[in-house]
Chains A and B, each alone.
Chain A
């Protein structure tokens, strides 16, 4: 049934042919369209993908090329998993910035009013944004980290320092990368919703992820030891790291803490989204 037949442009209101209601599934489709129809999304995701997939193998190739000149200590501490997945340090910047933009971009342009006029309950918009962005991030970062892992191990076979994916922490670290990126993205998105401002959202994101870890170093050692493992960046990164430093939380414990922070931020943004004037 073609809608143009059933729905002339100027039907009287009472004879309307469609009366579709707003559902969460429909809002998800709408947000999917919104996500991919922006150039900034495509560039950010491409950048994150290339960084995640390419940086690890690149570092592996450089390391292998210099292997004979490395000190015994360097060789002993060389970690084939962390090297392969090292691209996450860069990729997380792109994912975080995009996460903030997913919402703050709507506020800066006024689009948010159009969005809320279509979905006046508002929360379905937030859930749909989180859902679509998380799915895209997980799939892309999951694939990228697989490429990074196998690419890097293929290069590392030249010096026989590679590991197999069946090596216990390897698979966890690969899946962990995708999971970490999801939670990080949703965390950034919540900051975008809380600040309603691109610059502010990105500043807080960068502050929490990149500045806070440096800042706690100036605290007294005992305080530092107590706080450091619980920083979002440290707690979150536990799950995608091969080795766990003695002072840090266990992989999944750390990830749970990271999820906790994100849920708090998301809950706060949901509360304010409904209460504040748009």
Chain B
């Protein structure tokens, strides 16, 4: 359970997170979505007590992170993949973390096995690929068998097999009753993994909704493609309705906005026009996401660098 209440974070003049409130429930995968620089990583650092909010409170399992006496058992987190000393081996990195909580070595071996790093566990992390770094980050997050798992862009740098693996892992963690919170700037990735979405842009909450609702809303204002004989006649008939927009890109083809397929069919029947195709044009999730966050992306383009440069690097790598 994560509870963010009225949180604002300023870095000097810049507001990275602006009066943000949401909560993340246990038992489901919650996606944290927003364009690069929207404030996702900042929010995660605030949740993990790494940065202190300028205003507002953040609680994890009912407690401020800094008050937790055994944080690794409460929250397991992976921030950027390589928040790890490059000179140390994966095993020693995990061992040092485990020792702070008295977690036995056998558990360290166990999580190494779980993420599939057994063969390289004794090698220096500096030589790891981005994907191996991600797996090590996941291992560190799961080390304390935590009730809440927070992952920042976990799919970055993973190959298709790795993405499949992490998707199943996250779903399994959620099905065990854990709170799973992961960020991404890719809507398509979220649609396949998450049950619930928190969407932010410019540090503000844009949407707090289930994925199903998000998809429904995204496709509600979409066009219907109509192929028919006597297209100009149908066009005229449709245009008589209020708030209807009809466009034609080629002969015999209409793009109708503001009416459902059912309504179009009825109008066509009245006009005795034969319809050969009637297809709702679902906007892709990616498009829906873009239209939802468009404003914040424009802002970002003009505002220049943000506090999430690491995300950009990760995405580019």
Q: Please name the 3 residue pairs, one residue from A and one from B, whose CB atoms are nearest each other, closest first.
A: A20-B102, A13-B147, A110-B83
Measured in the bound complex, the distance between the Cα atoms of B69 and A26 in whole Å is: 13
- Report Cα–Cα, A19/B87, bound state, in Å: 30
Could you list 7 A-B pairs, sorted by A, with CB under 8 Å?
Answer: A13-B176, A16-B145, A26-B100, A34-B85, A37-B89, A114-B84, A120-B67
Interface of chain A residues 21 through 41 with chain B (CB within 8 A): 21-23, 26-27, 29-31, 33-34, 37-40
Asked if A76 is at the interface of the complex by the 8 Å CB criterion, the answer is no
Interface digits, A2-22 against B, CB 8 Å rule (1 contact, 0 not)?
111001011111101111111
Q: Chain A interface: which of B49-57, B192-200, B213-221, B228-236?
A: B49-57
Of the residues B73, B75, B79, B106, contact of A3 by C-beta under 8 Å: B106
- Least Cβ distance of A44 to chain B in Å? 12
Question: Does residue B32 face the partner (Cβ distance < 8 Å to A)?
Answer: no
Are B49 and A116 interface neighbours, CB within 8 A? yes
Task: Select from chain B the residue with minimum beta-carbon distance to A278.
Answer: B50
The one of B69, B84, B140 in contact with A22, judged by C-beta atoms closer than 8 angstroms, is B69
Whether A277 is near chain B, meaning CB under 8 Å from some CB there, is yes
Interface size class of B (residues with CB under 8 A): 35 or more
Contact B177 A277 (CB under 8 A): no
Query: Is residue B227 within 8 Å, beta carbon to beta carbon, of the partner chain?
Result: no
Whether B102 and A26, one on each chain, are in contact in the complex, defined by CB atoms closer than 8 angstroms, is yes
Quote the shortest CB–CB distance from B103 to chain A (angstroms): 6
- B312 → chain A, closest Cβ, in Å? 16
Bitwise, B180-195 to A at CB < 8 A (1) or not (0) is 0000000000000000
Residue of A7, A23, A30, A113 touching B145 (CB-CB under 8 A): A7
B97 at the interface (CB under 8 A from A): yes
- B157 CB to closest chain A CB (Å) equals 15
Inter-subunit contact A120/B84 (CB<8 Å): no
Q: Which residues of A contact B87 (CB under 8 A)?
A: 38-40, 105, 109
Known A22-B100, A113-B83, A118-B101; further 9 A-B contacts with Cβ < 8 A: A3-B104, A3-B110, A9-B111, A10-B176, A22-B101, A26-B102, A105-B87, A110-B79, A278-B45
Which chain A positions have C-beta within 8 A of B82? Answer: 109-110
Closest Cβ neighbor of A106 among chain B residues: B85
Q: Report A-chain residues with C-beta under 8 Å of the C-beta of B254.
A: none
Contacts of B79 in A (CB 8 A): 110, 113
Taking Cβ atoms with an 8 Å cutoff, the residues of B that contact A are: 45, 48-52, 65-73, 75, 77, 79-80, 82-89, 92-93, 95-97, 99-104, 106-107, 109-111, 114, 140, 142, 145-147, 172-173, 176-178
Residue of A whose beta carbon sits closest to that of B142: A9
Residues of A within 8 A of B (CB): 2-4, 7, 9-14, 16-23, 26-27, 29-31, 33-34, 37-40, 105-106, 109-111, 113-114, 116-121, 277-278
Cross-chain contact of B100 among A13, A14, A30 (Cβ < 8 A):
A30
Closest A residue to B75 by beta carbon equals A117
Inter-subunit contact A120/B71 (CB<8 Å): yes
Which residues of A lie under 8 Å from residue B107 when comparing CB positions?
Answer: 3-4, 7
CB distance from A270 to the nearest CB of B (A): 15
Please indicate the chain A residues that have their CB under 8 angstroms from the CB of B93 in the complex: 114
> Which among B51, B99, B140 has the greatest number of chain A C-beta atoms within 10 A?
B99
With a cutoff of 8 Å between Cβ atoms, the chain B residues found around residue A120 in the complex are: 49, 65-68, 71
Cα of A39 to Cα of B92 in the assembled complex, Å: 12
The reply to whether B145 and A20 form a contact with Cβ atoms under 8 Å apart is no
A34-B88, A114-B97 are known contacts. Are A121 and B66 too (CB-CB below 8 A)?
A: yes
Expressed in whole angstroms, the Cα–Cα distance for A30 and B94 within the complex equals 10
A277-B45 in contact (CB<8A): yes
Contacts of B52 in A (CB 8 A): 277
Cβ–Cβ contact A7 & B110, under 8 A: yes
Instruction: Give complex CA distance A86, B225 in Å.
Output: 89
